[in-house]
Amino acid sequence: MKNFILAVENVPKPMLIAEAVLIVLIIGVVAIRFFIIRSKPAYLKKLPRTVYDEETIHLLFNCYKAADSIEGMLHLAVKKSRNRKNKKRFKAAISYLYTSRYKDYETALYKYAGDGTEQTERLFTDIIGKEAAKKRLLPLKEES
């Protein structure tokens, strides 16, 4: 033990600081690699079961009117929603749209953002219809 202490005392202080910084950097790189890079996208994680109340359905509709796009609607819904489970589902839909191979609106809305009720399916069908009409430059149908 005395030999080790004597060996440390003979090493200049800047060298000890440089070694300590190097060790901390290596640990930081390993931690970033393990926690950030290897994590699954949100849409591949298990989603919580939830049933949207009227407030959430109105929130989704108003977010679409404000953002005028599906991605914007989901981002606004994440910010404005109060329910943590709903936020997780909206984040999963956003993750699907950005990181999935397919990036289709139907799967993002019906499977990841939707709760499976008829009311939300009707809302998402209307939103997808409006989005398709914008892309094709078609006038919206008047409901009578």
Model's pTM, two decimal places?
0.72
Q: What does the pLDDT profile of the chain (144 residues) look like in tens digits?
A: 555 554 556 666 777 788 888 899 999 888 887 777 667 889 999 999 999 999 999 999 999 999 999 999 999 999 999 999 999 999 999 999 999 999 999 999 999 999 999 999 999 999 999 999 888 876 666 776
Predicted confidence at residue 37, as pLDDT, reads: 67
Residue 108 is classified by DSSP as I
Distance, CA of 124 to CA of 108 (rounded, Å):
10
Residues 79-106: pLDDT tens digits? 999 999 999 999 999 999 999 999 999 9
Residue listed under structure tokens 């008829």: 118
Predicted confidence at residue 47, as pLDDT, reads: 94
Predicted confidence at residue 135, as pLDDT, reads: 83
Predicted confidence at residue 138, as pLDDT, reads: 63
Predicted confidence at residue 117, as pLDDT, reads: 96
Distance, CA of 86 to CA of 50 (rounded, Å):
7
Predicted confidence at residue 34, as pLDDT, reads: 77
The residue ranges of every structural domain in the chain are 1-39, 43-136
Using a 10 angstrom Cβ sphere, with 0-12 exposed, 13-18 middle and 19 or more buried, the burial of residue 27 is exposed
